[in-house]
Structure 1
Amino acid sequence: MRFSRIIMISIPLCTSFALLLSTILFLRYGSCPEGNFSCASSDMCVLQRLVCNGKADCPNGEDEDVIICSDLHGGFSSMIASLKNRTSNAFCELSNVPKQCKCKSSVLCCKSRNLTEIPTGVQGNVNGIIVMNTQIELFDTTFLNYHPSLINLGNNGLTKLPSKVFKGQIYLKKLFLIKNKLETLNGSLSVEFVNLNWLFLYDNYLTELKAKNWKMQYLTWLDASKNKLTLKNETFNRLTSLKFLYLERNMIQEINNDIFANLTNLIDLDLSWNIIKFIGPRAFASLYKLTDLNLMNNLILRLTSTHFLMLKNVQKLQLGGNARLEIGNYFFPLESLRSLNLKDIELPNLESSIFEMLTRLEIIYFKKYKYCTYVPQVKRCVPRADGLSSENDLIANDLLRWTLWTIMITTLITNSMVILRRVVSFQTSPLSLIITNLAIADMFMGVYLLIIGAGDLFYRNVYRKYAHIWVNSWTCTVAGVIAMMSSEASILFLLLISAERFLLISSPLGAHKNLTTKSAYSSCISIWLFSLLLAILPVFNWRYATRFYGKNSFCFPLHIDEPYMVGWQYSSLIFLGINSFSIIGIGLMYVGVFVSIWKTRNATTLCVNDSSFALRFIFIVMANCCCWVPIIVLKIMAFLSCDISKDIIGWIGVFILPVNSAVNPVLYTFTIPNN
Structure 2
Amino acid sequence: YFPCGNLTQCLPRAFHCDGVDDCGNGADEENCGDTSGWATLFGTVHGDANNVALTQECFLNQYPQRCDCKGTELECINAGLKSVPTVSSNVTLLSLKKNSIHSLSDKVFIKYTELKKIFLQHNCIRHISRKAFFGLHNLQILYLNHNCITTLRPGVFKDLHHLTWLILDDNPITRISQRLFTGLNSLFFLSMVNNYLEALPKHMCAQMPQLNWMDLEGNGIKYLTNSTFLSCNSLTVLDLSSNMIMELPPHIFKDLKLLQKLNLSSNPLLYLHKNQFESLKQLQSLDLERIEIPSINTQMFQPMKNLSHIYFKNFRYCSYASHVRICMPLTDGISSFEDLLANNILRIFVWVIAFITCFGNLFVIGMRSFIKAENMTHATSIKILCCADCLMGVYLFFVGFFDLKYRGQYQKYALLWMESLQCRLLGFLAMLSTEVSVLLLTYLTLEKFLAVVFPFSNIRPGKRQTSVILIGIWIVGFLIAVIPFWKEDYFGNFYGKNGVCFPLYYDQTEDIGSKGYSLGIFLGVNSLAFLTIVFSYTIMFCSIQKTALQTSEVRNNTGREAAVANRFFFIVFSDAICWIPVFVITILSLFRVEIPETITSWVVIFFLPVNSALNPILYTLTTSFFKDKSKQLLSTSIVWADDPSSLKLGVLNKIDLKENIVKPAS
Which position in structure 1 is the counterpart of 2:240? 295
Describe how 1:653-668 pairs up with structure 2 within 5 A. 653-667=604-618, 668=620
The correspondence for 2:522, drawn from 555, 575, 588, is 575
Matched, 1:566 2:520: no
In 2, distance between residues paired with 1:232 and 1:97?
Answer: 39
Which position in structure 1 is the counterpart of 2:430? 483
Describe how 1:440-451 pairs up with structure 2 within 5 A. 440-451=387-398
The correspondence for 1:459, drawn from 382, 401, 406, is 406
1:244–1:585: structure 2 CA closer, same or farther, 3 Å change rule?
Answer: closer
Is the Cα–Cα contact under 8 Å of residues 548 and 566 in structure 1 kept in the other structure?
no
Describe how 1:262-273 pairs up with structure 2 within 5 A. 262-273=207-218
Is the Cα–Cα contact under 8 Å of residues 295 and 319 in structure 1 kept in the other structure?
yes
TM score, norm. by length of structure 2: 0.79
Matched, 1:415 2:361: yes
Q: State percent identity of aligned pairs.
A: 32
* Cα offsets for 1:76-112 (capped at 9, x unmatched): 4532331469996754355989995686xxxx16xxx
In 1, distance between residues paired with 2:127 and 2:66?
Answer: 29
The correspondence for 2:600, drawn from 649, 657, 669, is 649
Matched, 1:620 2:566: no
The correspondence for 1:199, drawn from 142, 147, 159, is 142
Describe how 1:139-538 pairs up with structure 2 within 5 A. 142-143=86-87, 145-206=88-149, 207-211=151-155, 214-229=158-173, 230-232=175-177, 234-324=179-269, 326-328=271-273, 329-425=275-371, 429-508=376-455, 510-512=456-458, 516-538=462-484
Cα deviation, residue 336, structure 1: 0.3
In 2, distance between residues paired with 1:565 and 1:539?
Answer: 16
Is the Cα–Cα contact under 8 Å of residues 130 and 155 in structure 2 kept in the other structure?
no
User: AA paired with 2:121?
Assistant: I
In 1, distance between residues paired with 2:467 and 2:566?
Answer: 25
Cα deviation, residue 348, structure 1: 1.9
Which position in structure 2 is the counterpart of 1:639? 590
1:297–1:131: structure 2 CA closer, same or farther, 3 Å change rule?
Answer: same
SS at match of 2:625: coil
Is the Cα–Cα contact under 8 Å of residues 272 and 298 in structure 1 kept in the other structure?
yes
Cα deviation, residue 158, structure 1: 0.8
In 2, distance between residues paired with 1:626 and 1:357?
Answer: 47
User: AA paired with 1:92?
Assistant: E
In 1, distance between residues paired with 2:381 and 2:563?
Answer: 16
1:604–1:324: structure 2 CA closer, same or farther, 3 Å change rule?
Answer: same
SS at match of 1:334: coil
1:532–1:611: structure 2 CA closer, same or farther, 3 Å change rule?
Answer: farther
User: AA paired with 2:578?
Assistant: C
SS at match of 1:255: coil
- More off after superposition, 547-556 vs 582-591: 582-591
User: AA paired with 1:168?
Assistant: K
In 2, distance between residues paired with 1:507 and 1:137?
Answer: 87
Identify the structure with bigger relative contact order (alpha carbons < 8 Å, sequence gap 6+). Answer: 1
Is the Cα–Cα contact under 8 Å of residues 133 and 155 in structure 1 kept in the other structure?
yes
User: AA paired with 2:216?
Assistant: L
In 1, distance between residues paired with 2:473 and 2:362?
Answer: 20
1:149–1:447: structure 2 CA closer, same or farther, 3 Å change rule?
Answer: same
* Cα offsets for 1:573-620 (capped at 9, x unmatched): 322333223223333333443444345555699xx9x99997686343
In 2, distance between residues paired with 1:501 and 1:95?
Answer: 95
Q: Which runs of 5+ in 1 are unaligned?
A: 1-34, 36-66, 110-125
* Cα offsets for 1:522-569 (capped at 9, x unmatched): 433332222112211221133376622122322222323447743233
Is the Cα–Cα contact under 8 Å of residues 376 and 466 in structure 1 kept in the other structure?
no
Describe how 1:581-596 pairs up with structure 2 within 5 A. 581-596=528-543
Cα deviation, residue 484, structure 1: 1.2
* Cα offsets for 1:352-385 (capped at 9, x unmatched): 2111111111111222222222211111122222
* Cα offsets for 1:232-256 (capped at 9, x unmatched): 4733242111111112222322222
In 1, distance between residues paired with 2:277 and 2:594?
Answer: 33
In 1, distance between residues paired with 2:42 and 2:277?
Answer: 25
Is the Cα–Cα contact under 8 Å of residues 387 and 396 in structure 1 kept in the other structure?
yes
SS at match of 2:166: strand
In 2, distance between residues paired with 1:176 and 1:587?
Answer: 67
1:414–1:198: structure 2 CA closer, same or farther, 3 Å change rule?
Answer: same
1:578–1:94: structure 2 CA closer, same or farther, 3 Å change rule?
Answer: closer
User: AA paired with 1:400?
Assistant: L
Is the Cα–Cα contact under 8 Å of residues 322 and 411 in structure 2 kept in the other structure?
yes
Cα deviation, residue 70, structure 1: 4.9
Is the Cα–Cα contact under 8 Å of residues 114 and 138 in structure 2 kept in the other structure?
yes
Cα deviation, residue 331, structure 1: 0.9
In 1, distance between residues paired with 2:285 and 2:567?
Answer: 59
SS at match of 1:439: helix
1:346–1:333: structure 2 CA closer, same or farther, 3 Å change rule?
Answer: same
In 2, distance between residues paired with 1:95 and 1:581?
Answer: 81
In 1, distance between residues paired with 2:515 and 2:177?
Answer: 45
Is the Cα–Cα contact under 8 Å of residues 157 and 182 in structure 2 kept in the other structure?
no
Q: Report how many aligned residue pairs link the two structures.
A: 584
Cα deviation, residue 643, structure 1: 4.8
Is the Cα–Cα contact under 8 Å of residues 75 and 291 in structure 1 kept in the other structure?
no
SS at match of 1:547: coil
In 2, distance between residues paired with 1:408 and 1:484?
Answer: 16
SS at match of 2:104: coil
User: AA paired with 1:489?
Assistant: V
In 2, distance between residues paired with 1:250 and 1:539?
Answer: 48
User: AA paired with 1:582?
Assistant: A
The correspondence for 1:128, drawn from 64, 73, 96, is 73
* Cα offsets for 1:433-492 (capped at 9, x unmatched): 211111111111111111222222222232233222222222221111111111122122
User: AA paired with 1:131?
Assistant: C
Which position in structure 2 is the counterpart of 1:670? 622
1:171–1:622: structure 2 CA closer, same or farther, 3 Å change rule?
Answer: closer
The correspondence for 1:82, drawn from 33, 45, 54, is 45
Deviation >6 Å, runs of 4+: 85-89, 95-99, 610-616
Which position in structure 2 is the counterpart of 1:551? 497
Which position in structure 2 is the counterpart of 1:116? none
- More off after superposition, 311-320 vs 446-455: 446-455
User: AA paired with 2:623?
Assistant: T
